[in-house]
Amino acid sequence: MSQETDEAREVRVALSRVDCDVGADLHRIADVVNQIAVGYGASAAQVALAWVRVQQDKSVVIPIVGARTPAQFKENLGALEVPLSAADLERLDEVSRIEPGFPHDFAGAALVYGNTLDLIDAHPR
């Protein structure tokens, strides 16, 4: 059995301090992505990339494929063939919605954005 390196120990300790709610949120998002992927016979990566591509309607988004091998690159290109439905997009948007929290909850958009809210293109008001 190998000894844990100092770097590995530091990573493990840092990850143990991650807010449990954040980890649970990430797992919920991953679960929905996986469920949708099964429905299309696609990989989770393909669904995730297809989802990011759709965000171009809201802002400028460029998916980063991040493949390490030609096989991964080819698989990721399959995202172009994943026809996410409106219901899929609604599920993904709902599960990944971020609550603004403080100070937004305290004073509303005026405190957070000042007079700039109208200058933000495609802001989900």
pTM above 0.75, yes or no: no
Omega prior to 103 cis, within 30 of 0: yes
pLDDT in tens, 2-13: 455 665 566 556
Helix, strand, coil distribution of the chain in percent, nearest 5: 65, 0, 35
Between residues 75 and 64, the one the model is more confident about:
75
Higher pLDDT, 125 or 70: 70
